[in-house]
Amino acid sequence: MDNRPIGVFDSGMGGLTTVRALAKQMPAEDIVYFGDTGRVPYGSRSQETIVRYARQDVAFLRTFDLKAVVIACGTVSSAALGVISAEQDIPIFGVVGPTALRAAQVTRNNKIGLVATAATVRTGAYERIMRHANPMAEITSLACPLFVPLVENGRTQPGDILIETVVREYLTPLKEKGIDTLVLGCTHYPLLKDVIGNFMGPEVMLLDSGAEVVRQVAERLSASGQEADPEREGRCRWYVSDSTEGFQNLASLFLGRPVTEPVEQISIEDY
């Protein structure tokens, strides 16, 4: 048993979809969340900058006595997981590996789509793992840079003409390819599951990267006997690098529950 918290970070708010999955599957775990809201987005930045930011994000989280860190960001997981893992002495989980493996396993026609930020697509990290796990896989990757700002502006619901138009524009080539599995390779995208699902149709399986990493974290903590005491109720602590104003409202959207805990602003450049 290990009641130390799990650290979770993202470039901003998208990682809260992973926290939502974590809290659902492992309700006894304490979570310390850092959202780099002052420097979001990461998805349009260089590898070098993403690695530098990720090191600072982890350095801040490690000021807490953590048992593991979850990189709840497709971009950081793609660009910096190897570097960060090599530098840290606790388990570091990224969203790419478990999601890519599952996509490679569940596809029936070997036609897989990936939607993510430009940085994630550029690294080829998802494709490498999927190809290795399933050499027959035919993978089509697409950067969808407009999804993140639309999600952050609450344009996520079916019937919203703006998001429906953008989804149709981006995803038509994937639909024409006849994919049967679509990886939502960015932690903002689970909020678009309904709109994307309606457009792609019920025969296309959508894989949410947050949910997949949570499955892996649960398995690992259970195997090492490091789960929190099941009798306790997990607590969340929230930290951001920009003003805390509006955090609670937007965070509620991502978490699917009201956020009542306090949120604190920190100076990430100090780490």
Give residues in contact with ligand DGL (CB under 6 A).
Answer: 10-12, 14, 40-43, 73-75, 117, 120, 148, 186-188
43/113 with CB nearer ligand DGL: 43
CB 30 within 8 A of CB 82: no
DSSP state, residue 268: G
Smallest distance, ligand DGL to C-beta of residue 72, A: 8
Q: At what angle do helices 125-133 and 96-106 cross, to 10 degrees?
A: 40
Task: Looking at the chain, list the stretches that DSSP marks H as alpha helix, in order from N- to C-terminal side.
Answer: 16-25, 47-61, 74-87, 96-106, 118-123, 125-133, 147-152, 161-177, 193-200, 209-223, 247-255
Which two three-digit tokens encode residue 91? 């388990």
Report how far residue 33's alpha carbon sits from residue 70's, in angstroms, rounded to the nearest whole number.
10
50/259 with CB nearer ligand DGL: 50
Helix (H, G, I), strand (E, B) or coil at 75: helix
Q: Which of 184, 186, 211, 228 is catalytic?
A: 186
Smallest distance, ligand DGL to C-beta of residue 233, A: 28
CB-closest chain residue to ligand DGL: 43
CB 76 within 8 A of CB 45: no
Smallest distance, ligand DGL to C-beta of residue 44, A: 7
126/199 with CB nearer ligand DGL: 126
Report how far residue 230's alpha carbon sits from residue 208's, in angstroms, rounded to the nearest whole number.
26
79/139 with CB nearer ligand DGL: 79
Report how far residue 120's alpha carbon sits from residue 42's, in angstroms, rounded to the nearest whole number.
10
Smallest distance, ligand DGL to C-beta of residue 40, A: 5
What lies within 8 Å, CB to CB, of 39 at 6+ separation is: 11, 53, 241, 268
146/266 with CB nearer ligand DGL: 146
73/182 with CB nearer ligand DGL: 73
Smallest distance, ligand DGL to C-beta of residue 245, A: 20
DSSP state, residue 269: G
Phi/psi for 158 (5° steps) reads -55, 140
Q: Which of 40, 73, 196, 228 is catalytic?
A: 73
Residue 186: active-site member: yes
- The amino acid sitting at 223 is A
Smallest distance, ligand DGL to C-beta of residue 78, A: 8
Q: Which residues are catalytic?
A: 73, 186
